[in-house]
Amino acid sequence: MTSLTHILSDIVGEAFTHAGLPKELVQVRVSDRPDLAQFQCNGAMAAAKQAKKNPREIAKKVCSALTELMPGTFIEDLDVDRIEYVLNEEKGSFSYITSDPNALFSEVTIAGPGFINLNITDAYLADYLEKRENYGVTPISPSEKVVLDYGGPNIAKAMHVGHLRAAIIGDSLRRIMSYAGYDVLGDVHMGDWGTHLGMLIADYLREGEESLVLDTDVEDEASVAKLMEDMGARYPKASGAAKENEDLKKEAQETTVKLQNKEQPYYGIWEKIRAVSVAGMKKTYGKLGVEFDLWKGEADVHDYIAPMVEDMREKGWAVESDGAWVVPVASNEDNKKIPPMILYKRDGAVMYGTTDCATIVERVKLYDPVKMVYVVDQRQSLHFEQVFRAVRKADIVNDNVELTHAGFGTMNGKDGKPFKTREGGVMRLEDLIKMATEKAEARLDEANLASDMDEEERGDVAHKVAIAAIKFADLQNQRQADYVFDLDRLTSFEGKTGPYLLYQAVRIKSLLNKAKDAGEKIDGDLALGEGDRDLALLLTQFPDSLQLSINGYAPHHLCEYLHKLAQGFSSFYGNCHILSENDESLKQSRLQLCQVTMNQLEKGLELLGILVPARM
């Protein structure tokens, strides 16, 4: 990313080198104290520590180097005589201030123990915004391949809100990383090979009702819904019965093994169950606007399992334990107990860890990614620790391949407990979306929005508001934190919500349309003044928010930025004349700022998986 802070870091880095200091210590960032300066660099403190010198002396050296370097390095035609150096030891500040419009910095100050505070000139700021393609987001090159695993629904079961967070966070990361130039493969990685399927298939066969499965028409929505309904009710019943009855339990286990050996009729029934489930899932994910590149599941890697385990046995990584085959993954440095990862149970069935390891074998073979990232519930952290250790131990992945479990917290109800239906049951994802859409419609009514639309357009706007509400409420939190799903709050058009951002974006859109209707071309130069500066500075921070989101697999940084931008625009709009501005060049400049704000809001929301309606 060549964000403004990167450019400034390079420049200050050069001053460090000039002053004989290590430039790696330089990281210019947006100031924590906007009342004091726009940007800050704390590198002088680190450099002083290394050199065992006074940090203020070091900072002074950097500032001198900066001003010395300036004419030749980054300011064309700088009028050196117009630079005013102010050295005020008493006040503890050293700064230079210039009124030269061609300068890059308008003010450089040393503050406190050795912070270097930086302000840039309006001219440089305008120039930066005008020249930056893609808002300063430069795609990484060469493109690196990444596999993102953010699905995980189990087939034959209705998708529930537990799958919501994985989908929302993962889909957003896929969009953000793709925009930054990564070659991202999103995999749904369905749970389609576990004991729950053995149990279900055994139940159909015992009841002689397998035709319910086999006669289902995958192309027909009603037929798909009917079987999904049947399986959804059947599984808990069968599972409950198996808990009470040893014979049923044994039957389910045996059926699972036969299924995993691809024996008929088990495998045939399973194939149909899977096809029907995929059709149902695609519909639900479609409603959420969540996409995947790969529709694979645990079963797809079945054929990798035997050779993988064989290899692990040969090399001594896998050992027999009580009839089962396991990989011991504990290490002396552990401060908690890490149990061995089970490859084969005593009855020969494979486990969750087995399929995850084999999936890594497949991903390396087919895609050779530099990163594999799992957006999965935080509570599975032990599982991923075991899997990652096992594949590293068995040399299935290279040391330089990153394996990350990007875990997330729980979505709770207002009672602080995991979100449930009013009756205390598991809330289905479909029902949640429906509930949010109804609420969004009521909100539109209240705010007297979308009132002149026909039913179809209004329905589309309500759906977009609902999805914006659900996704933004989720993504704005730190990934690991639990959060409370409060439908009233998150659908509001006020506050830190998705609907608020949509509303602001639509407002700017309509302002720009009005300008275009009045014959404005919106293509003038930027001429920034006092009232425009804050918004213009904010607009430079978009790439930084993306970089932070990528670094931590944490889209809340982008949410934070977009919310600040919407608020920043609001104050700009309140304080400045735009269409009513008499000064023509100022009017053009402000329309440009509106346009860039609008583009960034729309692009940023799209990267969160949120679509802005044309009007509202």
Q: Give the residues lining the site for ligand ARG (CB under 6 A).
A: 149, 152, 154, 189, 191, 356, 374, 376
Cα separation, 601 vs 462, in Å, equals: 19
In order of 66, 441, 452, 489, 593, the CA distances from 508 in angstroms are: 40, 22, 19, 24, 10
C-beta closer to ligand ARG: residue 374 or 483: 374
**Cis status, amide bond into 265, omega within 30 of 0:** yes
Convert 509-519 to b/e letters by CB count within 10 Å (16 or more is b): bebbeebeeee
- Beta strands 39-41 and 105-111 are unpaired
C-beta closer to ligand ARG: residue 189 or 389: 189
* Least Å from the CB of residue 152 to ligand ARG: 3
Tokens coding 113? 């123990």
Cα separation, 218 vs 139, in Å, equals: 40
Q: Count other C-beta atoms under 10 Å from residue 241's C-beta.
A: 14
Q: Is 455 exposed, middle or buried (0-12, 13-18, 19+ CB in 10 A)?
A: exposed
C-beta closer to ligand ARG: residue 362 or 581: 362
Query: Which of 358, 303, 373 shows the shortest CA–CA distance to 327?
Result: 358
Q: Count other C-beta atoms under 10 Å from residue 345's C-beta.
A: 18
C-beta closer to ligand ARG: residue 122 or 187: 187
Which residue spans within 159-293 are E strands per DSSP?
A: 183-187
Classify the C-alpha dihedral 7-11-17-19 as positive or negative.
negative
C-beta closer to ligand ARG: residue 167 or 467: 167
Q: Where are the alpha helices (DSSP H) in 289-397?
A: 302-314, 352-366, 381-393
C-beta closer to ligand ARG: residue 46 or 299: 299
* Least Å from the CB of residue 162 to ligand ARG: 7
Write the CB contacts of 69 (distance below 8 Å, at least 6 apart in sequence): 14, 15, 18
C-beta closer to ligand ARG: residue 312 or 358: 358
* Least Å from the CB of residue 408 to ligand ARG: 12
Classify the C-alpha dihedral 345-348-349-352 as positive or negative.
positive
C-beta closer to ligand ARG: residue 122 or 149: 149
* Least Å from the CB of residue 356 to ligand ARG: 5
Which residue spans within 209-275 are E strands per DSSP?
A: none
Cα-Cα-Cα-Cα dihedral of 443, 447, 450, 452, to 10°? 130
C-beta closer to ligand ARG: residue 383 or 509: 383
Q: By beta-carbon distance, which residue lies closest to ligand ARG?
A: 152
C-beta closer to ligand ARG: residue 95 or 154: 154
* Least Å from the CB of residue 296 to ligand ARG: 10
Q: Where are the alpha helices (DSSP H) in 576-611?
A: 584-607
C-beta closer to ligand ARG: residue 116 or 167: 167
* Least Å from the CB of residue 149 to ligand ARG: 5
* Least Å from the CB of residue 301 to ligand ARG: 10
Cα separation, 420 vs 431, in Å, equals: 11
Q: Are 147 and 130 in contact (CB under 8 A)?
A: no
* Beta-ladder partners of 187: 149, 294
C-beta closer to ligand ARG: residue 74 or 295: 295
Q: Are 595 and 135 in contact (CB under 8 A)?
A: no
* Least Å from the CB of residue 150 to ligand ARG: 8
C-beta closer to ligand ARG: residue 18 or 420: 420
Helix, strand, coil share of the chain (percent; to 5): 55, 10, 35
* Least Å from the CB of residue 312 to ligand ARG: 19
Tokens coding 84? 């005013």
C-beta closer to ligand ARG: residue 75 or 231: 231
Q: What is the DSSP letter of 340?
A: P
Q: Where are the alpha helices (DSSP H) in 416-454?
A: 429-446
